[in-house]
Amino acid sequence: MEDGVCSRIYVKGGGGCSGESGGGGGKGSGSSKCGRWNPTAEQVKVLTELFRSGLRTPSSDQIQKISHHLSFYGKIESKNVFYWFQNHKARERQKRRKLSLPQQQHFILPPSSNLQRMFVFHLLFIPQFI
């Protein structure tokens, strides 16, 4: 038996729910079933970056723009962004209160591309976006 690692995320290949808008270097967020949103690693990375930069409760306008931009990496809707921030904030707080839930994950993910960095920068600091 191989040693178990502590936690991981996975990226699935294939899967064909509906309109794939995968962009540069992004893998599909295909899921075996179309039930619920399955964020790509890139989407999670950007969302996490926004969160770490201080964004907690994006306005509906911000949500719209974020989800639109994230659609570059795969299928996504506004409500997904809304729920993501809501859940992430709640679970961060749970963890901090040492109630139950687990530790934060540190992504050793992809070669964070300049494109992505610039993208996050853009999201964060351009007034007309945020």
Half-sphere exposure of 75 (CA within 13 A, CB side): 15
Nearest to 85 by CA among 54, 116, 51, 53: 51
Encoded one letter per residue, x for contact with DNA by CB under 7 A and - for no contact, window 17-36 reads -------------xxxx-xx
Tell me: does residue 100 bind a second copy (CB under 8 A): yes
Give the type of residue at 77: E
Q: Which is nearer to DNA, 105 or 113 (CB)?
A: 105
Tell me: does residue 127 bind a second copy (CB under 8 A): no
DSSP tag of 103: P
Tell me: does residue 98 bind DNA (CB under 7 A): no
Q: 1-22 burial by CB neighbour count: b if 16+ within 10 A, else e?
A: eeeeeeeeeeeeeeeebeeeeb
18-57 binders of a second copy (CB under 8 A): 33-36, 41
Task: Give the binding site for a second copy (CB under 8 A).
Answer: 1-14, 33-36, 41, 60, 63-64, 78-79, 81-83, 97-103, 105-110
